A = this chain, B = another copy of it.
Amino acid sequence: MTQPRQPEPRRPLTLRDVSEACGVSEMTVSRVLRNREDVSPATREKVLAAARTLGYVPNKIAGGLASQRVNLVAVIVPSLSNMVFPEVLAGISAALEDTGLQPVFGVTNYSAEKEENVLYEMLSWRPSGAIIAGLEHTDAARAMLENAGIPIVEIMDSDGEPIDSVVGISHRAAGRQMAEAIAAAGYKRIGFLGTKMADDHRAKKRLQGLTEGLAEHGLEVVDTELYSGGSALKKGREMTEAMLARSPNIDFLYYSNDMIGAGGLLYCLEKGYDIPGKLGMAGFNGVEFLDGLPMRLATIDACRREIGEMAANIIAGKDTSGVIGGHRVELTPRLETGDTIRKA
């Protein structure tokens, strides 16, 4: 009876294994593997060869504990499913690329409680910094962020008091900006279509800004339609149909995001509405996606990629100002009139 070849119980390799395999002290092996310059080329080669042959993968847990430094950046966003945050993440990844820092993503589903949990989990890994969407957090979450002793960058929104640094746009201003455009184009009866989510603070601020801005021109939101879940494109369609049926005299539809706006636009084009003549429309975010629609939906670009990049640069210490912490960056969102707002 031959002993079947046993796939060795797989104790993960340690520095010591490499050290023994190449006859160099653990310390020097460690130096080589961390790309430190103070090792002779000869030893370096020997070590590298041994590490490669064995298939050694360093243990960052031990490394992190010993060095008290961890090359992780916690990134917390509400969602991945709506085209908007992935672009922020892409910006962060790109900016961190050559810094030795690694982003780690967490998702909250727009739930403050989930955010608190995810944050706790992530901070327990002692990351070098944290990037988190929004300025609204539970008290406990705020406390954790304040006490973490690492740079914190709150992103997307600049309407509020940041914990440390902030990179975003004013959603209230974006709402007002849209109100100005609507008023200038002479639309009179505005409908708002958005999400039901109580915790989408930014959408709420945009609506506030819109309402305020309209009020200054004696205008107001005359009907509202909210949704949650499902295909945003389809919901946009359905909500638009519902609103137009209920309030046929509406002449402008403001959507809280481009996706439902696109659904609404497709619906209106099919039904032969005169856009932008009799009916104006606008969304929010400036997703690339809009480029492929039959007509360019008006929108406000939320500078998502740029926000991601700047936040990452602050964490990485790549920002130019020389200031440490407490950066306040408010980007100016660009209004893109597209083809769905008539010229004044």
Contact = CB atoms under 8 A, between A and B. Distances in A.
A143 interface: yes
B86 A81 contact: yes
Nearest to A238: B292
B104 A57 contact: no
A123 B90 CA distance: 22
B147 A55 contact: yes
A231 B57 contact: no
Summarize A's interface: helix, strand, loop or mixed. helix
A56 to B, nearest CB: 9
A124 B61 CA distance: 8
B90 A81 contact: yes
B292 A231 contact: yes
A156 to B, nearest CB: 17
A50 to B, nearest CB: 15
A65 interface: yes
Contact of A126 (B61, B87, B126, B148): B61
Given A231-B292, A234-B291, A58 B124 contact: yes
Interface of A: 10-12, 55, 57-62, 64-65, 70, 80-81, 83, 86-87, 89-90, 93, 102, 104-105, 107, 120-121, 123-126, 143-144, 147-149, 230-237, 262-263, 266, 270, 288-294
23 contacts: A10-B147, A10-B149, A11-B149, A55-B147, A57-B120, A57-B124, A57-B147, A57-B148, A59-B124, A61-B64, A61-B70, A61-B125, A80-B90, A81-B86, A104-B104, A104-B105, A230-B291, A231-B290, A231-B292, A232-B289, A234-B292, A236-B292, A237-B292
